[in-house]
């Protein structure tokens, strides 16, 4: 293979990996153009949410592969920085991509199940700090985590997992709620174990890409996000209809019987769950904890001042500014990997602050609207924060394009 062909293949595969790690299309294109410039290659690129074409028709075309795990995005971020900042040998870059895709998980599957159970317990502490809600969120989280583990190698079943999980959690939660007279606790535990399937990333990227004139990519991601919401809604609706739930059983009554400290403990528990479930590199825990507490505090303050619908905006704004600032330090990873956990925390919290009743009261249109508004609010916070960052870095005479990896 000629040197030019190796360069084009590296550019195409790097772009494919970035898409698999949920980088925005605009950033993927910008990165690949910079890499091609560093390599002295004339290599126009075509980037879509699930497709990369580098060079002309005689050059390599790479379709997007399986999504990269969170732990794999750390070495990918380092590779992207190396490819942009200095002349990286394309053959070495291809070898590094092969190594990244072959990386084993840091922990076993059972540890990951426990980690997801802790994540669900954390959401229980944040959304409904009661003993019943905490126990239920933990138990359902372990069940959903186990289902995710068992279907990991079966693509067909994984496509059905959102519907099956939503149906199972809703049916069992309300059945136990009726049997044990749990009332509002049976409703509030629905969100916690199902956060794995919330399409926050897809909808956020859709907003970001649409705001940068990437209409095709934005529309495709938005439709993918809406399909995931439809799957969740279908599972919940089937369970609600099968049980014949009444309006009084779907009423939402938030409660906190543990104390004001419980949601803050939930953020700490969430950090532990992320480490066990997704297995980021050693040494990332302090930065993860800092980002999570900063984002959650910003969301709470915004909610107190402006209400639940705007809480995601404040959380997203502070989150991205925090991640971009930390990414400038030599010992921290790129901003992209620090943004993700904070974002995963913000989406369910934002929905919970607005009110779970609107999600499960039988008003399907209201449920979709609540989810979309909360996710779009966070996305707008991201774009606003990035614009503010660029304005200040340019004013300071720095290169804003290389200041952060989003």
Average confidence (pLDDT) per 10 residues, the chain, 406 residues = 76 88 86 86 80 61 64 92 82 91 91 94 87 89 93 84 90 80 62 81 77 79 82 84 74 74 93 94 91 89 76 84 86 84 77 50 55 74 83 58 44
Taking the C-alpha atoms of residue 207 and residue 379, their distance in angstroms, rounded to an integer, is: 6
Cβ neighbours, 10 Å, residue 181? 9
Taking the C-alpha atoms of residue 128 and residue 256, their distance in angstroms, rounded to an integer, is: 6
Q: Give 6's Cβ-side CA count (13 Å radius).
A: 12
What is the SS3 assignment for 189? Answer: coil
The secondary structure of 197-209 as a DSSP string is G--HHHHHHHHHH
Give the pLDDT score at 330. 78
Buried b (16+ CB within 10 A) or exposed e, 119-152: bbbbbbbbbbbbebbbebbbbbbbbbbbbbeebe
Give the pLDDT score at 152. 85
Buried b (16+ CB within 10 A) or exposed e, 190-224: bbbbbbbbbbbbbbbbbbbbbeeebeebbebbbeb
H helix and E strand count, the chain: 18, 3
Residue 356 DSSP one-character state: T
Could you give the C-alpha distances from 220 to 26, 32, 66, in angstroms and in order?
A: 14, 21, 18
């Amino acid at each position: 293979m000629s040197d030019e062909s190796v360069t084009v293949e590296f550019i195409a595969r790097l772009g494919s990996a970035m898409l698999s790690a949920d980088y925005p299309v605009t950033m993927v294109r910008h990165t690949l153009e910079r890499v091609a410039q560093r390599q002295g290659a004339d290599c126009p690129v075509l980037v879509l949410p699930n497709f990369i074409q580098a060079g002309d028709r005689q050059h390599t075309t790479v379709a997007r592969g399986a999504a990269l795990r969170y732990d794999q995005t750390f070495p990918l971020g380092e590779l992207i920085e190396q490819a942009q900042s200095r002349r990286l040998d394309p053959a070495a870059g291809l070898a590094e991509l092969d190594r990244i895709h072959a990386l084993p998980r840091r922990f076993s599957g059972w540890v990951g199940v426990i980690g997801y159970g802790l994540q669900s317990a954390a959401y229980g502490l944040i959304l409904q700090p009661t003993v019943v809600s905490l126990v239920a969120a933990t138990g359902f989280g372990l069940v959903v985590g186990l289902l995710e583990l068992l279907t990991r190698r079966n693509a067909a079943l994984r496509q059905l997992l959102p519907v099956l999980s939503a149906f199972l959690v809703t049916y069992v939660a309300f059945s136990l709620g009726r049997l044990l007279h749990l009332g509002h606790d049976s409703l509030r535990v629905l969100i916690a174990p199902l956060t794995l399937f919330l399409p926050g990333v897809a909808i956020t990227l859709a907003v970001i890409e649409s705001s940068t004139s990437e209409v095709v990519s934005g529309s495709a991601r938005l439709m993918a996000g809406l399909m995931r919401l439809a799957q969740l809604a279908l599972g919940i609706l089937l369970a609600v209809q099968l049980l014949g739930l009444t309006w009084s059983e779907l009423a939402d009554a938030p409660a906190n019987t543990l104390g004001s400290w419980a949601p803050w403990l939930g953020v700490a528990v969430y950090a532990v769950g992320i480490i066990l479930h997704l297995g980021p590199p050693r040494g990332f825990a302090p930065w993860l904890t800092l980002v999570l507490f900063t984002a959650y505090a910003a969301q709470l303050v915004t909610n107190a001042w402006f209400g639940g619908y705007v809480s995601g905006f404040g959380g997203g704004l502070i989150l991205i500014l925090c991640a971009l600032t930390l990414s400038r330090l030599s010992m921290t990873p790129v901003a992209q990997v620090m943004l993700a956990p904070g974002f995963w925390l913000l989406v369910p919290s934002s929905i919970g602050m607005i009110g779970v009743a609107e999600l499960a009261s039988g008003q399907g249109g209201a449920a979709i609207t609540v989810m979309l508004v909360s996710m779009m609010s966070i996305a707008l916070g991201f774009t606003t924060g990035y614009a503010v960052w660029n304005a200040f870095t340019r004013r300071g005479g720095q290169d804003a394009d290389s200041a952060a990896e989003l």
